[in-house]
């Protein structure tokens, strides 16, 4: 596992979860996110041409950290690595897929819903454990998980906005995954990418303020 990538994720604190209807919107969205200070981009495999977008974004925006989401199989792992993905994220915990990814030396964050799943993900080698769907589970789950298992590094995904990010960070989130609020469908459809930049900047400001407050 690439510890430098995990360290970068922990430093950046925000992962933009990019799920689009058209491959053509991928690079403009990535540029808008970067302009707003969100420098970690998770390109979900449900986006058309996702692996090509990973290549393109890495080439065009070399300072971004680019990974792949919705990774469900060994085949997904291989094609994402071939595309240049620097980390992988899944909505589920599949031991075989996770161990396969880690054997390739790439960080893998599996999705977990229960304390047992979160612990098993950590035991299998997850440097960052995804908690999903965070909107339904709520911030308190994070503090409940970390009370008996403070060694967990958690990435709640779902329901992250400028209004909720502080709650999740204060409850114990090490990183947050922001998707539908950050990359609003109507903004993408209207090609109003500045709206994405504005929301990225809001999240960046709140994350930086939190980091300064707690000395991260």
Task: Write out the two tokens for 156.
Answer: 């709640």
**pLDDT computed for residue 3 by the predictor:** 85
Q: Is there a catalytic annotation at residue 42?
A: yes
pLDDT tens figures, 163-209: 999 999 999 999 999 999 999 999 999 999 999 999 999 999 999 99
**pLDDT computed for residue 182 by the predictor:** 99
Query: Exactly one of 11, 12, 35, 42 is catalytic; which is it?
Result: 42
DSSP 157: B
pLDDT tens figures, 35-91: 999 999 999 999 999 999 999 999 999 999 999 999 999 999 999 999 999 999 999
Nearest to 91 by CA among 77, 68, 70, 67: 70
* Structural domains for the chain: 3-211 (3.20.20.70)
- Answer whether residue 1 shows pLDDT above 70: no
Kindly state the average pLDDT of the residues 118-141.
96
Query: Exactly one of 11, 55, 130, 167 is catalytic; which is it?
Result: 130
- Answer whether residue 159 shows pLDDT above 70: yes
């Amino acid at each position: 596992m690439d510890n430098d990538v995990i360290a970068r994720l922990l430093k950046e604190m925000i992962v933009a979860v990019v799920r689009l209807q058209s491959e053509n919107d991928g690079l403009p969205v990535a540029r808008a996110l970067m302009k707003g200070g969100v420098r970690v981009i998770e390109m979900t495999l449900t986006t058309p041409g996702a692996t090509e977008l990973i290549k393109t974004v890495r080439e065009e925006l070399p300072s971004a950290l680019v990974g792949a989401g919705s990774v469900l199989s060994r085949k997904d792992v291989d094609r994402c690595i071939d595309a240049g993905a620097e980390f992988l994220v899944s909505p589920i915990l599949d031991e075989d897929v996770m161990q396969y990814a880690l054997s390739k030396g790439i960080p893998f964050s599996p999705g977990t819903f229960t304390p047992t799943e979160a612990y098993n993900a950590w035991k299998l080698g997850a440097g960052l454990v995804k908690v999903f769907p965070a909107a339904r589970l709520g911030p308190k789950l994070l503090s409940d998980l970390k009370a008996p298992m403070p060694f967990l590094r958690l990435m709640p995904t779902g329901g992250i906005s400028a209004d909720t990010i502080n709650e999740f960070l204060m409850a114990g989130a090490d990183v947050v995954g922001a998707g539908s609020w950050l990359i609003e469908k109507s903004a993408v459809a209207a090609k109003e990418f500045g709206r994405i930049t504005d929301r990225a900047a809001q999240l960046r400001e709140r994350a930086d303020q939190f980091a300064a407050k707690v000395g991260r």
